[in-house]
């Protein structure tokens, strides 16, 4: 064939494929059969309660429809997420079907005992996803997402033609072990703004986690606008660890993040740490300091040196102003008051302070949460104790009526993985991946009253991290380990099985741009776009 003949042939090929002539140098349209997705049902993470593989698969192609009761806004939202995912993953636009039709993906809510539970059935002729409540439907979508090609994680993949794919046939019945599956982000030591926090919320909710505790104030910075106390941010937000510029959330930004989280079934838990960790507040309002003088801004990483004046009414007026404004912009039922690492108050002063603050939080209609030091003080039945010190007084902790477990030697994502890890701290020891995974919360406080353990939380403190890259490096993959500890039943807990399902996340996490630590214990699946 001469040169002209070749160009005519190429042009003809292009014409059949997309209806208009393409320049000869353009990539020819794909004619090869589309790749079958390599997703495996045993890779879903966190591990579901019941997984029954069946024969066959469901093909998603141009004839597939989506049948959802879109009059229900929660169902409509998940239907949109699914359509959007399928469009990105394959270029296929799912049409809506009025009623459950053949070849349809059906979404529904059927109020059940646990609104976070769901059941997913994939059969050759249909897919059915039923949530026990709106959250369950959302979590069912997170599972279905993992059974579809990872291309859906990219924002603007462009397919020359739709690429049908298959979902393996399976029945999954799933319910979380614990109601509290949390993460904490310290936005005080280094400031992380609204976009960073939203990104973290996206990643948490993919792991079926449902609480994000924001550590909003510490010695190094005050990060939330308080309208009645403007100096808190004008003065107290100026810097961060190391002396770089800080930052803060306006109340509008905070409300926007709260709404963003709520749409992903994540409750924001705001924390204002006190009576210690308050240098930034005291630099702005010296009346809460016993000697009345404003300390200079602090940009180091020591703890425990600052404390609000426990005997002064100005302190409680200040706390009431702050708690009142934060309670008003936090629809969630919780308000965390810190209470940790107070080195400069006597036990009696500490007790007076926590007791008063507990009353203030209660008066603003919120349930108080405090780090485990607060259990030295008589607590209201609604107050939640957050365990963090591995060697705390366990007998005392066991008396707490409600608790969240964040043992630092398991759940602190800011601990180094090994001696070579550059980021992070190691005061609680090294926390390699297996250590973050291989524990049972119910064995931490064996004498806890039935139902007292609400669940687990993975804090990340930001002394050594200043951006999302470094945050993700410390958080991933250990955050997935804590998510699995919180979601998956103890009977399903199995390090070898977890290792495999974690390794299988590599293509998806890469598509999402997560800067995860390639933990050497894991055989990370090659990243090839499928
Ligand atoms: C202890 S955990 C702290 C924080 C530090 C963290 C660093 C807790 C309640 N207090 O002030 O940032 O260690 O890992």
Q: pLDDT tens for residues 98-150?
A: 766 778 999 999 998 899 999 999 999 999 999 999 999 999 999 999 999 99
Query: What average pLDDT does this structure show over 322-348?
Result: 97
Q: Which residues partner with 415 through β-bridges? A: 425
SS (H, E, C) 272-336: EEECCCCHHHHHHCHHHCCCCCCCCCCCCCCCCCCCCCCCCHHHHHHHHHHHHHHHHCCCCCEEE
Percent of the chain beyond pLDDT 70? 92
The torsion of the CA quartet 234, 235, 238, 243, rounded to 10 degrees, works out to: 170
pTM (predicted TM-score):
0.92
Query: What average pLDDT does this structure show over 146-155?
Result: 92
Distance 489 CA to ligand 1 centre (A): 29
Other beta carbons within 10 angstroms of residue 375's beta carbon come to: 23
pLDDT confidence of 93, banded at 50, 70, 90? very high
- Closest alpha carbon to 263 in 204, 187, 329: 204
Instruction: Report the Cα 46 to chain-centroid distance in Å.
Output: 13
Q: Tell me: the pLDDT tens digits for 157-174?
A: 778 889 999 999 999 999
- Residue pair 505/206 in contact (Cβ under 8 Å)? The answer is no
Ligand 1 atom 4: residue of nearest CA? 461
Distance 498 CA to ligand 1 centre (A): 28
Ligand 1 atom 11: residue of nearest CA? 303
Which atom of ligand 1 has the smallest separation from the CA of 218? 11
Distance 227 CA to ligand 1 centre (A): 28
pLDDT confidence of 70, banded at 50, 70, 90? confident
- Name every protein residue with a CB atom under 6 angstroms from any ligand 1 atom: 303, 340-341, 371, 388, 412, 414, 425, 461, 463
Q: Which residues partner with 443 through β-bridges? A: none
Q: How far is residue 233's CA from residue 229's CA, in Å, rounded to a whole number?
A: 8
Ligand 1 atom 7: residue of nearest CA? 461
Is pLDDT at 425 greater than 80 in this prediction? yes
- Residue pair 146/480 in contact (Cβ under 8 Å)? The answer is no
Question: Which CATH code for domain 3-174?
Answer: 3.30.379.10
Out of 80, 341, 420, 521, which one is annotated catalytic?
Answer: 341
Ligand 1 atom 5: residue of nearest CA? 461
Ligand 1 atom 6: residue of nearest CA? 461
Annotated catalytic residue 341: yes
Distance 283 CA to ligand 1 centre (A): 21
Q: Tell me: the pLDDT tens digits for 265-294?
A: 999 999 999 999 999 999 999 999 999 999
- Closest alpha carbon to 365 in 340, 402, 329: 329
Other beta carbons within 10 angstroms of residue 158's beta carbon come to: 6
Residues 6+ apart with CB under 8 A from 343: 276, 304, 305, 307
What is the torsional sign of CA 202, 207, 209, 213? negative
Which atom of ligand 1 has the smallest separation from the CA of 414? 14
**Ligand 1 pocket test target in 182, 340, 407 with most atoms within 8 Å of CB:** 340
Instruction: Please tell me whether residue 359 adopts helix, strand or coil conformation.
Output: helix
- Closest alpha carbon to 488 in 92, 207, 69: 207
User: Out of 3.30.70.270, 3.20.20.80, 3.20.20.105, 3.30.365.10, which CATH number does the structure's domain 180-487 have?
Assistant: 3.20.20.80
Domain locations in the chain as residue ranges: 3-174, 180-487
Is pLDDT at 489 greater than 90 in this prediction? yes
Q: In what order do the strands lie in the sheet with 118-123?
A: 50-60, 165-174, 118-123, 126-131, 104-109, 65-68, 95-96
- Residue pair 204/475 in contact (Cβ under 8 Å)? The answer is no
Peptide bond just before 158 cis, omega within 30 deg: no
Distance 25 CA to ligand 1 centre (A): 59
User: What pLDDT shows up at residue 477?
Assistant: 98
- Residue pair 452/401 in contact (Cβ under 8 Å)? The answer is yes
Ligand 1 atom 13: residue of nearest CA? 461
> Which range is least confidently modeled, 26-40, 65-79, 332-346, 412-426?
26-40
* In 317-405, beta strands by DSSP E: 334-338, 367-371, 384-387, 403-405
Distance 514 CA to ligand 1 centre (A): 25
Q: Are strands 453-460 and 403-405 parallel, antiparallel or unpaired?
A: parallel
Q: How far is residue 84's CA from residue 72's CA, in Å, rounded to a whole number?
A: 18
Q: Tell me: the pLDDT tens digits for 36-69?
A: 456 789 999 999 999 999 999 999 999 999 999 8
Better-scored residue on pLDDT, 65 or 32: 65
């Amino acid at each position: 064939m001469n040169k002209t003949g070749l160009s005519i042939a190429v042009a003809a090929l292009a014409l059949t494929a997309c209806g208009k002539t393409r320049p000869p140098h353009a990539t020819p349209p794909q004619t090869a059969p589309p790749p079958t997705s390599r997703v495996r049902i045993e890779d879903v993470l966190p591990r579901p309660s019941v997984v029954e593989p069946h024969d066959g698969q469901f093909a998603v192609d141009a004839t597939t429809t989506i049948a959802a009761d879109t009059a229900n806004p929660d169902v409509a939202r998940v239907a949109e997420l699914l359509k959007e995912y399928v469009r990105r993953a394959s270029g296929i636009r799912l049409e809506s079907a009025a009623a459950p039709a053949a070849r349809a993906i059906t979404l529904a809510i059927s109020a059940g005992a646990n609104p976070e539970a769901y059941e997913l059935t994939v059969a050759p002729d249909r897919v059915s996803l039923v949530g026990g409540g709106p959250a369950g439907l959302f979590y069912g979508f997170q599972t279905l997402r993992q059974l579809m090609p990872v291309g859906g994680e990219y924002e603007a993949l462009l397919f020359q033609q739709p690429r049908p794919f298959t979902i393996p046939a399976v029945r999954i019945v799933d319910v979380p072990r614990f109601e509290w599956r949390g993460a904490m982000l310290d936005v005080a030591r280094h400031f992380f703004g609204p976009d960073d926090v939203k990104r973290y919320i996206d990643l948490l909710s993919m792991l079926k986690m449902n609480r994000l505790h924001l550590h909003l104030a510490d010695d190094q910075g005050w990060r939330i606008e308080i309208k009645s106390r403007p100096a808190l941010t004008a003065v107290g937000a100026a810097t961060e660890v190391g002396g770089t510029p800080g930052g803060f959330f306006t109340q509008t930004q905070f409300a926007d993040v709260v709404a963003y989280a709520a749409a992903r079934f994540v409750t924001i838990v705001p924390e204002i740490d006190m009576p210690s960790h308050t240098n930034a507040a005291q630099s702005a309002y010296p009346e809460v300091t016993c000697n009345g003088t404003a300390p200079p801004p602090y940009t180091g990483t020591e703890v425990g040196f600052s404390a609000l004046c426990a005997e002064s009414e100005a302190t409680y007026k200040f706390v009431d102003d702050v708690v009142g404004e934060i309670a008003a912009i936090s629809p969630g039922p919780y308000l965390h008051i810190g209470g940790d690492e107070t080195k400069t108050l006597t036990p009696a002063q500490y007790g007076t302070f926590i007791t008063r603050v507990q009353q203030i939080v209660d008066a603003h209609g919120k349930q108080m949460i405090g780090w485990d030091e607060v259990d030295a003080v008589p607590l209201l039945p609604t107050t939640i104790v957050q365990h963090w010190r591995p060697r705390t007084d366990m007998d005392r902790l066991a008396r707490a009526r409600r608790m969240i477990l964040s043992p630092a030697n398991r759940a602190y994502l800011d601990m180094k993985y090994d001696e070579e890890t550059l980021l992070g701290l190691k005061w609680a020891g090294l926390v390699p991946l297996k250590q973050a995974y291989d524990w049972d919360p119910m064995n931490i406080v064996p004498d806890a009253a039935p139902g007292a353990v609400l669940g687990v939380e993975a804090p990340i403190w930001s002394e050594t991290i200043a951006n999302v890259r470094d945050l993700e490096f410390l958080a991933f993959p250990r955050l997935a380990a804590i998510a699995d500890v919180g979601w998956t039943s103890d009977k399903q807990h199995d390090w070898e099985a977890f290792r495999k399902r974690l390794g299988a996340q590599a293509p998806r996490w890469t598509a999402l741009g997560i800067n995860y630590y390639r933990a050497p214990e894991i055989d990370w699946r090659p990243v090839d776009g499928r």
